[in-house]
Chains A and B, each alone.
Chain A
Amino acid sequence: MRRRGALALGLLAALWAGGGAAAADLHAQLAELLRWLPGTYDNAAQVARQGGGGPFYPVRTIVRPVTMPGIAAHVLYLEEYRDNDPAKLTRVRLYTFAIDAAAGAIRLHLVNPLRPEALIGAHADLARVEALTLADMRVDRPVCDVLIRKDGAVYRGTMTPRTCNRPDGTWVDYTLIVGPDRHWVRNRARSASDDAVAWEFVPGAGEGFIEQFKLP
């Protein structure tokens, strides 16, 4: 059984590998991604378009560069809330970025502040974020890293399938798309036994993304 599991993992790793860019391209791509990503995004147009019966609720995401050399060379602070209420946090994260030449990708590593509620509104006062140390955070497991590659005109990042497992036995199927003016996310969990969708960040979204566009 274990052998079959290893074989399946090997297959998935093989399937997911690829699309790799050369190192020089990756450096240019990382610079571009760090230029594009900071900003304030919302999905107001999506919410308006879907009308009353749609699954999507308002999500605002604010991404700011921070200087935190103790964490990594390239760090972004992300604060996200729903229903136009800054107190209704959905995510507070630090994103660190590094080049993974072997994977031919940009590796996004997730760092989670232990007390996100203490950071409400910190996007407007980054000193509160930059004062944090590693002791104030939980560093996510490398199996939950997001590998980002240039895909047409956008960057597309995914976790390696079946690796970022949750306590309930499901695995996280997360997709991030970043363009010069957009930040789209789809987050769901799948059953380990048959890959069926077991949880959705936006219930009923199916293949749909939270479609956020950058505010002026």
Chain B
Amino acid sequence: MAKIFAALLAALAAASMPAAPAAAHTKADLDAQLKLLMQWWPGRYDNNEQIVRQSGGGLSAQTAKPFYRLHTVFKRVNMPELGDNVLYVEEWQNNDPADIARIRLYSLSVDEAEGAILVKFSTPLDTKSLVGAHADLSKVEKLTKKDIRTFRDPCNVYLRWEGGQFRGGMKERSCNANDDKEWFQYQIIVGPRYYWSRDRRFTYADNKVTYEMAPGSNYGWFEQTKTRMMACEVLADPAGDMTKTKKLTDIELHDQGGEAAIAWPDGRDLRFVIHTRAFTSPPEREFPLFRIHDARNMAVPIAYAYAVDDAERYGLNLGWFYVRCQVKK
């Protein structure tokens, strides 16, 4: 975790410095861009704030339209057969790690002719056996070329350095589908703390949209933010005396809508939730908002509290329930 935050800090510093990689696309520029991208990209991303915002914010009931909840994990893997810079991608939807949306391998390299970072996609032939492999990369790293299908060149993704972030996608009218009658318009943005993506498919014949990653969004972006992991200690006192709380358990969760279940001594199933509240605040403000719920009512919490921007340590004490959290380094 310390490595992640060190890389993040370095990346943020690089993003704010005029000396960041240029868009002039010399080989040296592209090499530096690839290095920076490999620092930025690994991590866990979630679009929980986008769901909160589209639902009306605050304690409004959450809607999954047009955007549904999407959680993506990018982990660097050692797979020399695929190149020097390979990422394992595991993505799930609806806040359910078993509800897999995509499992991919991304091979990144410099493409001087395109003046871009080339991202070559592959997909393992047996994705089911890889569910959860982001936590055990040996399952991924033992795969060989015969275990994967590499996407055709027309489906390559090209990322370019633009305005302090990487932006790109597949070439227009290039990556065909449905017996070459349709093509994908797939685009992504990668920044120091975010990953945005969108995808749709057009017919060649009459330019109709036949598929949208988020139907009804007008080709809107899935806006995912890089998560921070929080380590929390939970204490309790059945009589509600905050001077006598005793440790109950430890929990870990991420801060972009992460949830942890707590089996309470009285038999209740409690849920501790953290997100970074952007709604109704200026967009540049982010601060942890944390809630404790009875699992039977995830809409309205028992209590909630929030901390200052970028807080790394915070707590909530109700007497019978006491939680204190800090960023996991």
The docked-state distance in angstroms from the alpha carbon of A57 to that of B24 is 13
The docked-state distance in angstroms from the alpha carbon of A119 to that of B218 is 41
A43 → chain B closest CB, angstroms: 8
- Tell me which of B15-23, B69-77, B80-88 binds A: B15-23
Known A-B contacts A28-B283, A211-B22; the reply to A19 vs B220 at CB < 8 A is yes
| Interface residue? A200 (CB, 8 A) | no
| Interface residue? A82 (CB, 8 A) | no
| Interface residue? A32 (CB, 8 A) | yes
Interface residues of B in 250-306 (CB under 8 A from A): 282-284
- Tell me which of B126-134, B147-155, B188-196 binds A: B188-196
| Interface residue? B25 (CB, 8 A) | yes
Secondary structure of the A contact surface, majority rule: mixed
| Interface residue? A184 (CB, 8 A) | yes
The docked-state distance in angstroms from the alpha carbon of A171 to that of B101 is 40
Complex contact A19–B198 (CB within 8 A): yes
Complex contact B163–A156 (CB within 8 A): yes
Residues of A within 8 A of B189 (CB): 151-152
The docked-state distance in angstroms from the alpha carbon of A153 to that of B35 is 20
- Tell me which of A107-115, A133-141, A174-182 binds B: A174-182
Residues of B within 8 A of A20 (CB): 218-220
- Tell me which of A47-55, A62-70, A123-131 binds B: A47-55
The docked-state distance in angstroms from the alpha carbon of A25 to that of B49 is 13
Q: Which 4 A-B pairs have the closest CB atoms?
A: A18-B219, A45-B18, A177-B163, A152-B189
B37 → chain A closest CB, angstroms: 13
Complex contact B25–A207 (CB within 8 A): yes
Interface residues of B in 152-196 (CB under 8 A from A): 160, 162-165, 167, 172, 185, 189, 191, 194, 196
Residues of A within 8 A of B200 (CB): 18
Q: Which residues of A come within 8 Å of B, CB atoms?
A: 7, 10-11, 14-15, 17-22, 25, 28, 32, 44-46, 49-50, 54-56, 104, 151-154, 156, 177-182, 184, 205-209, 211, 213
Q: In this complex, which of A22, A25, A50, A209 has the most chain B Cβ atoms within 10 angstroms of its Cβ?
A: A209
Least CB separation from A152: chain B residue: B189
Interface size on B, residues (CB 8 A): 35
Residues of A within 8 A of B162 (CB): 154, 156, 177, 184, 209
B246 → chain A closest CB, angstroms: 44
Supply 7 further A-B pairs (C-beta < 8 A) apart from A20-B219, A182-B163: A14-B207, A21-B220, A25-B53, A154-B162, A184-B162, A207-B23, A207-B116
| Interface residue? B320 (CB, 8 A) | no
Residues of A within 8 A of B24 (CB): 46, 50, 54-56, 205-206, 208
Q: In this complex, which of B24, B198, B200, B218 has the most chain A Cβ atoms within 10 angstroms of its Cβ?
A: B24
Complex contact B218–A104 (CB within 8 A): yes
| Interface residue? B121 (CB, 8 A) | no
Complex contact B172–A15 (CB within 8 A): yes
Complex contact A152–B167 (CB within 8 A): yes
Least CB separation from B116: chain A residue: A207
| Interface residue? B202 (CB, 8 A) | yes
The docked-state distance in angstroms from the alpha carbon of A94 to that of B224 is 35
| Interface residue? B115 (CB, 8 A) | yes
